[in-house]
């Protein structure tokens, strides 16, 4: 475990995460040519969708040997739509390195990654890449991170020169300059800057440890050894956030970053323990090479050539091919089949995965993404992962009717790959509704249905599950009487109909006395009502919050039947609806919108055009938090709207709150649309 480093690369789209991995693979002689994103020749971005987009859509894993250590890197896509991949990457690693583009403004996708992962219980650091680009400025990039986040990165590797003159880095902890791992002279014009950064680092290191702080106060500085040991421990404890300068495509600082990963970042042994769940209670377990097996599938997917693959992180004990294991989340046994180490699209078979390591498992029967794998005599589970709430919805349907049976199974497979995608059958609108994080996520899903399963799927904004009710009362009478040859039909009912409180549902009262309707027909009356209530009367939506009291009626010895009373009951309710001022109810959600200050005016204006009601606002850190209620019909399109209003920087979370009366003009539109569909 001491000789492994597990790194998650997340952050800004196009900051150069994948290019960094390609360069590290080459520098460690794992590959013998450098893959280029722009030529579609990388080891890491090899899916057809990734080559087409020139950008990652799913996480990739690389492993390389460096100075007798194994570095596993999980490279995640930057787009917020692929949050599930970023969370998965962070689960596999001891350190998350956020990659920023040193030549651009503070990036929205970086901000989103930080917000998504800031609470993950692992170490965090920053890589400032693309420092060879025109306009690149390391110090400015660090400043932007300090301004826009709660992180205060401490530079460890700083650049020598910038833009096209960027030529090497200085390791502040060592006080030495390097070019691709070879020591060089510190340029004379940089000595002041190095000194300044060194003091900054020394202070940060000293502050992380009482003994060092005392020493620092007494002597005024720390020795080189105290610095390196102190630095590693400060980073491991999360007290110091390291920052590194690189250019991936010009191979500057990359070798030095690899050195820094080995020297300064925590190994699985440094992490030492993790929090797990045993019998619904949190528990800390010590990690060891020899202990019981505890592993976690941080991502699963189905590979067209190999079948189902589960990427696993072994935390404790070891995993061997052919061994029996237990999957606590599924309460089921499973068996480890063949295993391999992953280098992007390349695999190296292994029959053992040791504590601290990462690998791929082929065709597990039960274990899928976010499942633990433990010894058959253990019940330990990984902690529940907090996922972002859905903010975007689309209903999905096979374009061709003959695909309708196939789409369910295909969707189930695809949902396994992305934990922020959900699919629910809405009983009321009879639609399959995807809820998720963004448009690109859905469009990738649609593409994969086509490319992997040959299913063409149509997407549309889901229908809103309105409900019908009444706002007044009615007293109605209906007699169903039909004489057609032989046996006739006869059923007569008197209803008193009134609205009930929101959420009360449907209530049926039988106050018929003196056998005016024989008891045996009463259930038929209720059944008739329940059928209409399910289908609705004015708009094809379910009826709620309604009380029907049947208080009188009439029957015929020969002609009365259950059917006749059902029909009488339907018609009586329809009549009652005409009188009792029917209305529509719509779902209203609580929405919490988080935006930078400068967008307040626009966002508030937009909320009111969406019939939203602002309940309050508060300042939280560097952002404004707006609490509001918004009808679901407006919320359905809110994600793209908020994105364009705030240059992508706003976000929201939402949950269902209650049903509320739809305003008259909108009711008329909904009813007209419903009747047109029929
Ligand atoms: N000039 C320059 N371009 C880079 C650097 N790193 C990556 N790129 C380019 O930036 C684009 C996005 O790189 P990629 O590795 O896919 O970024 P990712 O989205 O973070 O994985 C590609 O065109 C790369 O060639 C760098 O350090 N300098
Ligand atoms: Mg990438």
Same-domain status, 607 and 643:
yes
End-to-end Cα, the chain, rounded Å: 65
Closest to 420 measured CA to CA, from 37, 17, 76 = 76
- Cβ of 37 closer than 6 Å to ligand 1, yes or no, is yes
- Choose one of 251, 271, 291: the last residue of a domain: 271
195 found inside a domain: no
343 found inside a domain: yes
Strand order across the beta sheet in which 123-129 lies: 60-66, 69-75, 4-11, 95-101, 123-129, 241-245, 153-160, 168-171, 176-179, 182-184
Same-domain status, 374 and 259:
no
492 found inside a domain: yes
For the whole prediction, is pTM greater than 0.85? yes
Same-domain status, 487 and 419:
no
263 found inside a domain: yes
Closest to 359 measured CA to CA, from 288, 400, 310, 408 = 310
152 found inside a domain: yes
231 found inside a domain: no
Strand order across the beta sheet in which 474-482 lies: 474-482, 489-499, 546-554, 506-510
Residue 139 belongs to domain with CATH number: 3.40.50.300
Q: Is 546 exposed, middle or buried (0-12, 13-18, 19+ CB in 10 A)?
A: buried
- Cβ of 1 closer than 6 Å to ligand 1, yes or no, is no
- CA-to-CA distance for 92 and 361, rounded, in angstroms? 15
Residue 609 belongs to domain with CATH number: 3.30.70.240
- CA-to-CA distance for 97 and 492, rounded, in angstroms? 75
- Closest atom of ligand 1 to 21 CA is 15
Same-domain status, 58 and 69:
yes
Q: Closest Cα to atom 19, ligand 1: which residue?
A: 14
Total domains in the chain come to 5
- Cβ of 173 closer than 6 Å to ligand 1, yes or no, is no
Residue 436 belongs to domain with CATH number: 3.30.70.870
Q: What pLDDT score was predicted for residue 54? A: 85
Length of the chain in terms of residues written: 678
**How far does residue 307's CA lie from ligand 2's centre (Å)?**
24
Angle at 668 between CA 663 and CA 673, to 5 degrees: 125
In this predicted model, what pLDDT tens digit does every residue of 219-275 receive, in sequence order?
888 888 888 889 999 999 999 999 999 999 999 999 999 999 999 999 999 988 999
Residue 480 belongs to domain with CATH number: 3.30.230.10
**SS3 for 442?**
helix
Which residue range(s) make up the domain with 375?
Answer: 273-382
Same-domain status, 595 and 620:
yes
Same-domain status, 528 and 548:
yes
Q: Which residues in the chain land under pLDDT 70?
A: 677-678
Phi/psi zone of residue 639: left (φ > 0), alpha (ψ -120 to 50 degrees), beta?
Answer: alpha
**How far does residue 38's CA lie from ligand 1's centre (Å)?**
9
Confirm if 216 and 206 have CB atoms less than 8 A apart. yes
Same-domain status, 317 and 360:
yes
Q: Please provide the DSSP assignment of 269-295 as one string.
A: HHH-EEEEEETTEEEEEE--SSS--EE
Phi, psi torsion values for 89, nearest 5 degrees:
-60, -40
Q: What pLDDT score was predicted for residue 583? A: 96
Same-domain status, 107 and 256:
yes
**How far does residue 417's CA lie from ligand 2's centre (Å)?**
18
Ligand nearest to the CA of 136: 1
- Cβ of 129 closer than 6 Å to ligand 1, yes or no, is yes
Q: How far is CA 169 from CA 96, 255, 420, 464, in A?
A: 21, 10, 39, 57
- Choose one of 382, 404, 424: the last residue of a domain: 382
Q: Looking at 613-650, which runs of residues are DSSP E strands? A: 613-620, 623-631
Same-domain status, 442 and 476:
no
Q: Ligand 1, residues 9, 26, 37: which to mutate, most atoms within 8 A of Cβ? A: 37
- Closest atom of ligand 1 to 248 CA is 27
Same-domain status, 258 and 129:
yes
190 found inside a domain: no
The two tokens of residue 155 are 């530079």
Same-domain status, 279 and 357:
yes
- CA-to-CA distance for 400 and 247, rounded, in angstroms? 49
170 found inside a domain: no
- Choose one of 580, 609, 641: the last residue of a domain: 580
Q: Closest Cα to atom 12, ligand 1: which residue?
A: 14
- Cβ of 369 closer than 6 Å to ligand 1, yes or no, is no
Closest to 91 measured CA to CA, from 456, 317, 383 = 383
In this predicted model, what pLDDT tens digit does every residue of 626-635 receive, in sequence order?
999 999 999 9
Neighbouring-strand partners of residue 278: 281
Same-domain status, 541 and 598:
no
Q: What pLDDT score was predicted for residue 53? A: 83
């Amino acid at each position: 475990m001491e000789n492994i480093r597990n790194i998650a690369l997340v952050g800004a789209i196009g900051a150069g995460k994948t290019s960094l991995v390609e360069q590290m693979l080459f520098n460690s002689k794992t590959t013998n040519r450098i893959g280029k994103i722009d030529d579609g020749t990388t080891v890491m971005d090899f899916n057809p969708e990734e080559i087409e987009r020139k950008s990652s859509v799913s996480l990739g894993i690389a492993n390389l040997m460096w100075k007798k250590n194994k570095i596993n890197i999980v490279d995640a896509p930057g787009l917020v739509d692929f949050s599930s991949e970023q969370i998965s990457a962070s689960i596999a690693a001891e350190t998350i390195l956020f990659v920023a583009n040193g030549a651009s403004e503070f990036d929205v996708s970086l901000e989103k990654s930080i917000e998504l992962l800031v609470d993950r219980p692992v170490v965090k650091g920053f890589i400032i890449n693309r420092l060879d680009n025109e306009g690149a400025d390391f110090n400015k990039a660090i400043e932007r991170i300090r301004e826009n986040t709660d992180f205060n990165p401490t530079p460890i590797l700083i650049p020598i020169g910038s833009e096209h003159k960027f030529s090497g880095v200085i390791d502040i902890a060592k006080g030495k300059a390097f070019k691709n791992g070879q020591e060089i002279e510190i340029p004379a014009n940089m000595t002041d800057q190095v000194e300044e950064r060194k003091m900054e680092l020394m202070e940060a290191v000293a502050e992380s440890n009482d003994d060092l702080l005392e020493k620092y106060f007494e002597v005024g500085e720390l020795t080189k050894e105290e610095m390196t040991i102190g630095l590693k421990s400060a980073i491991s404890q999360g007290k110091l956030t390291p920052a590194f300068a690189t250019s991936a495509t010009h191979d500057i600082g990359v070798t030095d970053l690899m050195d820094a990963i080995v020297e300064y970042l925590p190994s699985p042994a440094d992490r030492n323990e993790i929090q797990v769940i045993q019998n619904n209670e949190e528990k800390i377990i010590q990690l060891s090479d020899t202990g019981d097996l505890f592993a976690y599938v941080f991502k699963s997917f189905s590979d067209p050539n190999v079948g189902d693959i589960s990427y696993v992180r072994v935390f404790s004990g070891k995993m061997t091919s052919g061994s029996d294991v237990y999957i606590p989340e599924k309460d089921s046994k499973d068996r480890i089949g063949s295993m391999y180490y992953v280098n992007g699209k390349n695999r190296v078979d292994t029959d053992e995965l040791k504590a601290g390591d990462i690998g791929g498992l082929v065709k597990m029967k039960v274990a899928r993404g976010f499942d633990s794998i433990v010894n058959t005599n253990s019940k330990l589970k990984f902690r529940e992962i907090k996922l972002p709430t859905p903010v975007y919805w689309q209903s999905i349907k096979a374009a061709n009717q003959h695909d309708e049976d196939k789409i369910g199974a295909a969707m189930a497979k695809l949902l396994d790959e992305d934990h922020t995608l959900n699919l629910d059958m809405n009983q009321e609108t009879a639609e399959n509704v995807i809820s998720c994080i963004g448009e690109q996520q859905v469009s990738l899903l649609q593409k994969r249905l086509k490319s992997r399963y040959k299913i063409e799927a149509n997407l549309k904004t889901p229908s809103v599950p309105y409900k019908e009710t009444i706002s007044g009362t009615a007293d109605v009478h209906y007699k169903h009487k039909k004489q057609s040859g032989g046996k006739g039909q006869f059923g007569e009912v008197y209803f008193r109909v009134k609205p009930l409180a929101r959420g009360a549902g449907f209530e049926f009262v039988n106050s018929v006395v003196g056998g005016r309707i024989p008891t045996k027909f009463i259930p038929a009356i209720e059944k008739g009502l329940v059928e209409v209530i399910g289908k609705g009367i004015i708009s094809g939506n379910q009826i709620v919050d309604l009380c029907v009291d049947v208080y009188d009626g009439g029957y015929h010895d020969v002609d009365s039947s259950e059917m006749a009373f059902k029909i009488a009951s339907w018609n009586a309710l329809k009549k009652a609806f005409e009188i009792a001022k029917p209305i529509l109810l719509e779902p209203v959600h609580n929405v919490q919108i988080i935006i930078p200050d400068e967008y307040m005016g626009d966002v508030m204006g937009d909320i009111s055009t969406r019939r939203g009601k602002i309940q309050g606002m508060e300042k939280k850190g560097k952002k404004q938090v707006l609490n509001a209620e918004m009808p679901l019909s407006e919320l359905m399109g809110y994600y793209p709207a908020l994105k364009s209003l705030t240059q992508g920087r706003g976000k929201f979370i939402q949950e269902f709150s209650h049903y509320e009366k739809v305003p008259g003009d909108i009711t008329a539109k909904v009813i007209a649309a419903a009747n047109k569909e029929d």
